[in-house]
Structure 1
C-alpha cells in the first residue's frame, strides 16, 4: 500500500469522530491493570526505552514511554495521548510489569484518610 495514497493510509481515523478503534480493542478486552491499582494522580516515569525484541507491545505503549521520559501524572498522560484513563491504566500495568516504567504515588494517596479531618470539613461546610 503506497504511503501517499489518499484515504488508504488512515482508514482507521474518522476526522469528525476520531479513532474508530474502540478502547477494548486497545486493551485486548482487559479493564483493570495487572498488579497493584494505579492512582490517577500517580506520576509515571520511563525507566528504559521500549525493546521490541522480547516485548509484544502496541504503538500506544510506545507513545506512553515516549511521553514519560519526564515525570507525568496518569491523567495528563491520558489527555496527552487522547486515551481514556481506564485504557491508560491497563497499558501502564503492562509497561510496569515489563519494567519499562516506574510509578510514584503521591503521599496523600498512599495513606488512609483521617476521619477527624473529614468530619471537620463536613461540619465546616454545614456551618456555611
Structure 2
C-alpha cells in the first residue's frame, strides 16, 4: 500500500484497487438500509437534485440510475457490499433523488413457466 501525495491526510491508495474506503465510512456507521430493497429492485433517478453535497458513492449511484438499474448492478459498479449499497440507495430515496420498484411485482413469483425460463437463462450464461 502506498500513500498518495505527501500530506498525512491524503487517502490511502492501493495500486490495483484504487482508493480504499471502509464500508463503515461510506454508510456513516449505519448497518441497515432505511428502505426495503432487494437485489432485483430497479432504481431510477427522479431528476430531482438532492439539497446537499453528495459523497462519491452517492453521486456514482445516482449517475448509474439515469436508466433503471438493479441494486445488484449498482453494488457491482460501486464495488461495495450489497448492504452498503442499500444504505446509500436508501439515502437517495429519502432525498427524493431516486425511486424504486420491484420488477414484475404483479407477476406470480412461483409461476413454473417463469421459473423454468429463469433457470434456462442462467444455464445459458454458465
Residue segments in structure 1 that go unaligned for 5+ positions in a row:
1-5, 118-128
Which of these two proteins has the greater Rg computed from alpha carbons?
A: 1
C-alpha distance 112-19 of structure 1, shift in aligned 2 (>3 A): farther
> Partner of 1:80 in structure 2?
77
> Partner of 1:71 in structure 2?
68
Tell whether the 8 Å contact from 2:11 to 2:19 is kept in structure 1 after alignment: no
| Cα distance in structure 1, aligned partners of 2:91 and 2:45 | 13
Residue segments in structure 2 that go unaligned for 5+ positions in a row:
113-126
Tell whether the 8 Å contact from 2:31 to 2:83 is kept in structure 1 after alignment: yes
Tell whether the 8 Å contact from 1:13 to 1:20 is kept in structure 2 after alignment: yes
| Cα distance in structure 2, aligned partners of 1:12 and 1:50 | 30
1:13 Cα deviation from its structure 2 partner: 2.0
| Cα distance in structure 1, aligned partners of 2:47 and 2:83 | 23
Q: Which of 78, 92, 114 is residue 95 of structure 1 equivalent to?
A: 92
| Cα distance in structure 2, aligned partners of 1:48 and 1:100 | 7
Matches within 5 A, 1:9-48: 11-16=11-16, 18-35=18-35, 37-48=36-47
Tell whether the 8 Å contact from 1:49 to 1:65 is kept in structure 2 after alignment: no
**TM-score, structure 1 normalization:** 0.69
RMSD (Å) for aligned C-alpha atoms: 2.8
**TM-score, structure 2 normalization:** 0.70
C-alpha distance 46-14 of structure 1, shift in aligned 2 (>3 A): same
Q: Deviations over 1:78-127 (max 9, x none)?
A: 1112111111100000000110001011235x78866xx7xxxxxxxxxx
